Every structure is written in C-alpha cells, then in structure tokens.
Amino acid sequence: MPLYHVDRVVRETGRIVDNGFEEKFPLTSASKHRYRETEEGQQIMCEIMERLNTEAREEGRDEMRDEINALNIRLINENRLDDLHRAATDIEYQAQLINELFPKKTQQ
C-alpha cells in the first residue's frame, strides 16, 4: 500500500502551510503514526480488527438465531407445521418465510 504525503501549499509562493493538527493533537498524531507505520502498531490494529470481526459474526449469529426462533414460534402458534418442517430443511424457504412474516422496518 503506497503512502502519500499531502501538504497544504500556497500556490503563489510554494510555501507549505501547516494545518496545526500535530501541534494541537500530538498524542493522536503519535498514535496514528505508530499504528500506520510500525510493525507493532500494524499488529495491534490487526488484532483489533480480528476481534471486531469475531464480535460482529457472533452478533449476526445471535440475531439469526432470534429470527429463526421467532419464525418457529409463529409457525407453531399458527399450526403451520408443514411450513415449520420445510423451513427446518430448506434454508431458502426459511428466508422467504422470515421476509414474509417479519418484514424489515426499512423496507417499504
């Protein structure tokens, strides 16, 4: 991944204008430098990203489990046992029933 340096330059004079970020936020600037440009920092960022990905996968599994449980309960309560059996063995049919019976709030 290439590293680009961007400077603010006064076109007429060629003078570089400091935006003051490093002077105002020295700890943030040092941290950003460490995470981007050192092997230790990159390793830390990889570990953080891996942990975040694991947590997101676990949350997704929990949400999916909740949706399937809600579907199963509804099908049992409505005595739709044939649909329950098919949904347990046919993932596409299960997804179709979830979309049909539990439409997302964002869909219109």
With a pLDDT cut of 90, the percent of the chain lying above it is 54
Q: With a cut of 50, say whether residue 108 has pLDDT above it.
A: no
- Beta carbons within 8 Å of 40's beta carbon, 6+ residues apart: 34
Buried b / exposed e along 21-53 (16+ C-beta atoms within 10 A):
eeeeeeeeeeeeeeeeeeeeeeeeeeeeeeeee
Query: What token pair was written down for 36?
Result: 């981007």
pLDDT tens by residue, 14-61:
887 776 666 667 778 778 888 888 888 889 989 999 999 999 999 999
pLDDT mean over 85-99 = 95
> Dihedrals φ, ψ of 17, to 5°?
-105, 120
d(CA 50, CA 31): 19
Q: What is the DSSP string of 86-108?
A: HHHH-HHHHHHHHHHHS--TT--
Indicate the average pLDDT of the chain. Answer: 86
- Is the whole model's pTM more than 0.85, yes or no? no
Please tell me the predicted confidence (pLDDT) of residue 105.
57
The reported pLDDT for the residue numbered 83 is: 96
66 close to 98: Cβ distance less than 8 angstroms: no
Q: Hey, is 46 helix, strand or coil?
A: helix
